[in-house]
């Protein structure tokens, strides 16, 4: 009969691997949260701009209104200033 007891554990290497994974997940979570906040802020600013445009168009005299026509549908410009890619525009209030 074998009376030698051997303890098998992950040891320091296993701890370091798990600790590294925890740090990586924490950093990724922080980055995701920051990006989501920025996207929400940009969308709110875009909707506010559309509402301002509609209010200004409603207040402007009939002769001063811009002609209603199709808007260009190319790739978007800097940070939320362009039209949606792909052609179909969507109503921000729908």
Asked if residue 79 has pLDDT above 70, the reply is no
Read off the pLDDT of each residue in 31-59 and give the average, rounded to a whole number. Answer: 95
**Number of Cβ within a 10 Å radius of residue 84:** 13
Q: pTM value?
A: 0.49
Asked if residue 57 has pLDDT above 80, the reply is yes
Looking at the chain, the number of H-run helices and the number of E-run strands are 1, 0
pLDDT of residue 60: 77
Query: Left, alpha or beta for 50 (phi > 0: left; psi -120 to 50: alpha)?
Result: alpha
Which residues, 6 or more positions from 40, have their beta carbon under 8 angstroms from its beta carbon? Answer: none
Q: Lowest-pLDDT range, 15-24, 35-44, 68-77?
A: 68-77
């Amino acid at each position: 009969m074998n009376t030698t007891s051997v303890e098998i554990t992950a040891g320091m290497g296993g701890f370091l691997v798990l600790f590294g994974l925890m740090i990586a997940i924490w950093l990724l979570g922080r980055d995701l949260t920051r990006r989501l906040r920025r996207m929400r802020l940009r969308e709110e600013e875009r909707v506010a701009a559309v509402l301002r445009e509609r209010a200004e168009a409603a207040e402007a005299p009939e002769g001063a209104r811009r002609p209603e026509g199709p808007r260009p549908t190319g790739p978007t410009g800097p940070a939320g200033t362009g039209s949606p890619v792909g052609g179909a525009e969507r109503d921000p209030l729908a």
